[in-house]
Chains A and B, each alone.
Chain A
């Protein structure tokens, strides 16, 4: 399983969550974060804001779905036609084990495949 963490604009988060839902990835977690990027924050007049509010959304998906999720987030979180500074970053990391608390079982790649096709 793969964990995808995306730091996006707060105003884009509803749109991204809806897009993920339509793409078939309902399970996500989001949290408010503050940060800056390689532009060292934002300069407004004399003041430099280097703790810009962002939202971190993270989801854990099967390896095969990785590209689709990244593409979905990328498409919806981008502003303008070419994108702009501050649109965010996506980080991908490996998850070794996944457990569902309500059933207490460890989930594997094949388990979620069954859960998807069962209904």
Chain B
């Protein structure tokens, strides 16, 4: 009986916390919006630095520095490379979150939302965050996970392609509606 009591109290606490979070103001959204602007102003996506990142994390460089560089240089370079790589994956995540945000806005505007598509997006997000955490941990512990880094960037690319298709479809639909509105017989307009 006590177990049931604790279980129900725990469920209620979780529900109330989720309720409070769900009903919280949308200040976070505004912040996210401003982040988007910053990204746009920067003019390029963070994914574009992948070749440099790959180059920077190559193990051959490490070997070369160990052979020819002064003592301590290799460790220092490794530390610096790790710091840069961590910043890079954090930026990739930021890119991904922005794409997610835009896709949610598109879904909200759409007259039909596919449950399968929405779950697919959730799955994609979970997958991205999982890889992100693995790479983050690997970098923190001193490993340089090149294959995983490529996977992460790949996922971001695949997602952006899907998003583009969705936006193209919406654009076509909007053009269709515009055509219908401009047609002489407006009584038969059924845009959606």
A pairs with B = no
State the A residues within 8 Å of B (CB).
none
Question: Which of B's residues lie within 8 Å of A, judged by CB?
Answer: none
